[in-house]
């Protein structure tokens, strides 16, 4: 996020409770009151037509009076719109049917830590006639309103059709459906009929927005990018095209995407197909009223939406095959159910995790609802995933705790010894040559059925002090990372002084206290990332050591808060750490559409030598990369001494490299 300033958190109201669930077509039951439900028991029984999804899940039916829906959604938005650092988490679901009408549209906003989704098997099973919006937040005063979307994080909309209807809003606000967001936000499985803008151009300035993600969605009218600095659109249809761009706008497998031929004057990076993709699992209700989770299959070299000609390819898992967890459930209980073959559904809330949740069995699904958050306690690693086929982790946020953790999410074991590499080579040969072995060894299918992380977010600092060495560590081969934001917070409510006594806005204290060495370390081979956002870590933000890695859109801001150049200098004397580092031994790597930004607010004279650092190897190729200054500090070169400097005098004007090495 490209802003040095953060807001003050809003008031915390009562939790939005969900009364006993109702079948499709029945009325909504929600009230504002009460405390979270009781801890789930080991002998959990689940009614497939009426699962208990906890107090912070609300389900609407098409016969719910619209004024009740409107009142509930307005109350939730008012509660969450300024709740950036709160512990409240919410999921809102719509059963199949139509909500709102031409004469009386349903219009509501989506605040922090809120998921809004349809419960149909297809997006078109749930239609909202109206608007589902995120607007700028005005963080200043009357003289300087400072209306921006730069801190509009952590919200989700998916699996529904939106007939845009802004009737009754009047003036500028009636011109489009606004989705003005920045980081840790996703739009998936949408059918949007009508105008959509990714910036809010109606409020006072500067109206900045700073990134997001669209996948598996169809739009019949031009999408207005506006002030969005970076964005990834993957496997979608743009029937009306895409309007304008700022720095790095990336499209992969998108029908109707703009051409990249005019780069960098037109900052588009366009891949005809997505190399590896898997759509995020989604909850739905079948024709008999039973709750199910659809787990899409992995695909290679695809374009367009997955649901155009019928159900998204994949498998359906009944909700009775899940352990439905609540905050307060013990990790021992969760791990016991995982070991017995259950999948894991994390209902909305914050989970304090003092020992690892361990996902070991092939094909296990871990699905978070309403931005469910795992917080490390006493230096624990909150989540580990074995090197096995088909595990999917989706919709989960992982926070560092006050005691340093070695890692927040580890995929595959870290001990990649020469002996283990020889065993892996031997296993790979058996997989290729023996059909019998391939049938019994789940690791033989990891390439076709990769471990997948979808909308998995990481945070170090913000609501409380955080400490970690590495946030995300990928040691397994053939892993897919489909949209992540790995954030060492540049602002928060940790209690640092704001009067300048410990440095500008207390950031000298933040540098020493909210510690995170590296955001992402990839040691596995054939790892693919689509939408990799990593910000503010204290050395290299991303280190990629595995072979045959592919990244489609990378966005990075270097840390704002090094107190001095000495704090931002490597032991060998190199000035600063590149925001994206490919290991010196790597021979094959591809990167499409990437930016590294600098804003050294504590010491504007700090220098970083290179935004990107990669080995000189024929198979290491970077396509459409850039650096930019956000008004303080300097990056001397884009990559390996190539590309001009971006000092403060160039603020807002990127330095581009079309291809490295040059063809």
User: Which amino acids are annotated catalytic?
Assistant: 557
Residues 225/249, Cβ–Cβ less than 8 Å = yes
Report CA-CA distances (Å) from 652 to 180, 246, 597: 20, 10, 10
Sequence-ordered list of residues with C-beta below 8 angstroms from that of 483, at least 6 positions apart, any chain: 186, 213, 215, 232, 454, 455, 456, 530, 531
| Helical H segments across 435-474, by residue range | 435-440
- As a whole number of angstroms, the distance between CA 388 and CA 416 comes to 15
Q: How many CB atoms lie within 10 A of CB 189?
A: 27
Report CA-CA distances (Å) from 583 to 416, 458, 588, 641: 16, 23, 10, 17
- As a whole number of angstroms, the distance between CA 197 and CA 207 comes to 12
Largest CA distance in the chain: 73
Q: What angle do CA 567, 574, 490 make, to 5 degrees?
A: 40
Cis peptide before 145 (omega within 30 of 0): no
Residues 80/114, Cβ–Cβ less than 8 Å = yes
CA nearest to 212, candidates 204, 653, 190: 190
Instruction: Kindly tell me the sign of the dihedral angle through the C-alpha atoms of 261, 483, 254, 3.
Output: negative
- As a whole number of angstroms, the distance between CA 293 and CA 321 comes to 10
CA nearest to 216, candidates 293, 134, 154, 274: 274
SS3 label, residue 511: helix
- Per-position DSSP letters for 197-235, written without gaps between them: ESS--SSSSB--B---EEES-EESS-EE-TTBSEEEEES
Sequence-ordered list of residues with C-beta below 8 angstroms from that of 507, at least 6 positions apart, any chain: 496, 560, 561, 563, 601, 602
Helix, strand counts (H, E) of the chain? 5, 48
- As a whole number of angstroms, the distance between CA 260 and CA 268 comes to 5
Joined tokens for residue 374: 């795992």
Report CA-CA distances (Å) from 64 to 56, 116, 454: 18, 17, 32
Query: How many residues comprise the chain?
Result: 663
Residues 410/380, Cβ–Cβ less than 8 Å = no
CA nearest to 386, candidates 298, 260, 474, 307: 474
Residues 88/113, Cβ–Cβ less than 8 Å = yes
CA nearest to 469, candidates 519, 398, 511: 519
Instruction: Kindly tell me the sign of the dihedral angle through the C-alpha atoms of 262, 263, 266, 268.
Output: positive
Q: How many CB atoms lie within 10 A of CB 101?
A: 13
């Amino acid at each position: 996020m490209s802003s040095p300033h953060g807001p003050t958190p809003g008031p915390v109201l009562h939790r939005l409770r969900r009364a006993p669930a109702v079948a499709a077509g029945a009325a909504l039951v929600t009230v504002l009151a009460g405390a979270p439900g009781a801890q789930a028991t080991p002998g959990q029984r689940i009614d497939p037509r009426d699962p208990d999804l906890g107090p912070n899940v609300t389900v609407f039916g098409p016969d719910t009076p619209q004024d009740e829906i409107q009142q509930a959604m307005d109350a939730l938005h008012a509660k969450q719109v300024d709740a950036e650092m709160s512990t409240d988490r919410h999921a809102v679901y719509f059963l199949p049917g139509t909500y709102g009408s031409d004469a009386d549209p349903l219009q509501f906003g989506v605040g922090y830590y809120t998921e809004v989704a349809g419960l149909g098997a297809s997006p078109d099973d749930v239609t909202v006639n109206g608007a589902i919006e995120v607007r700028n937040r005005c963080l200043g005063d009357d003289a300087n309103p400072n209306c921006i979307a730069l801190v509009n994080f952590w919200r989700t909309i998916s699996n529904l059709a939106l007939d845009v209807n802004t009737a009754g809003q009047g003036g500028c606000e009636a011109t489009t459906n606004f989705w003005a967001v920045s980081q840790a936000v996703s739009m998936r499985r949408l059918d949007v009929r009508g105008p959509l803008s990714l910036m809010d151009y109606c409020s006072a300035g500067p109206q900045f927005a700073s990134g997001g993600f669209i996948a598996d969605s169809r739009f019949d009218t031009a999408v207005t990018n506006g002030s969005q600095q970076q964005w990834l659109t993957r496997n979608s249809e743009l029937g009306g095209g895409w309007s304008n761009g700022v720095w790095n706008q990336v499209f992969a497998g998108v029908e109707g995407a703009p051409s990249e031929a005019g780069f960098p004057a037109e900052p588009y990076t366009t891949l005809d197909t997505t190399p590896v993709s898997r759509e995020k699992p989604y909850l739905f209700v079948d024709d008999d009223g039973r709750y199910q989770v659809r787990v899409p299959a992995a695909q290679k070299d695809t374009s367009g939406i997955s649901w155009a000609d019928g159900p998204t390819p994949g498998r359906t898992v009944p909700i009775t095959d899940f352990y439905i967890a609540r905050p307060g459930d013990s990790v021992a209980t969760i791990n016991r159910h995982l070991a017995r073959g259950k999948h894991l559904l994390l209902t909305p809330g914050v989970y304090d995790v003092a020992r690892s949740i361990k996902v070991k069995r092939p094909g296990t699904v871990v699905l978070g609802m309403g931005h469910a958050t795992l917080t490390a306690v006493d230096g624990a690693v909150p989540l580990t995933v074995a090197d096995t086929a088909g595990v999917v982790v989706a919709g989960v946020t992982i926070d560092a705790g006050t005691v340093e953790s070695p890692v927040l999410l580890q995929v595959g074991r870290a001990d990649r010894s020469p002996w283990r590499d020889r065993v892996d080579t031997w296993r790979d040969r058996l997989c290729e040559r023996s059909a019998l072995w391939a049938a019994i060894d789940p690791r033989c299918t990891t390439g076709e059925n990769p471990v997948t992380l979808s909308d998995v977010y990481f945070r170090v600092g913000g609501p409380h002090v955080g400490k970690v060495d590495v946030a995300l560590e990928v040691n397994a081969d053939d892993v897919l990372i489909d949209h992540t934001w790995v954030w060492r917070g540049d602002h928060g409510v940790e209690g640092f002084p704001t009067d300048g006594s410990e440095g500008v806005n207390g950031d000298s204290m933040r540098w020493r206290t909210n510690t995170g060495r590296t955001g992402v370390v990839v040691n596995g081979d054939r790892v693919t990332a689509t939408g990799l956002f990593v910000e503010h870590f204290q050395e290299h933000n991303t280190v990629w050591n595995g072979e045959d890695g592919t990244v489609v859109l990378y966005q990075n801001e270097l840390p704002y808060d090094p107190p001095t150049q000495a704090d931002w200098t490597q032991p060998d004397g190199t000035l600063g750490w590149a925001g994206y580092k490919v290991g010196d031994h790597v021979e094959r790597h591809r990167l499409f559409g990437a930016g590294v930004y600098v804003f050294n607010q504590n010491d504007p004279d700090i220098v970083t030598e290179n935004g990107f650092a990669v080995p000189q190897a024929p198979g290491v190729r970077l396509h459409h990369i850039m650096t930019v200054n956000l008004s303080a500090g300097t990056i001397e070169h884009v990559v390996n001494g190539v590309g001009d400097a971006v000092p403060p005098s160039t603020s807002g004007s990127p330095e581009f490299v079309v291809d490295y090495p040059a063809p």
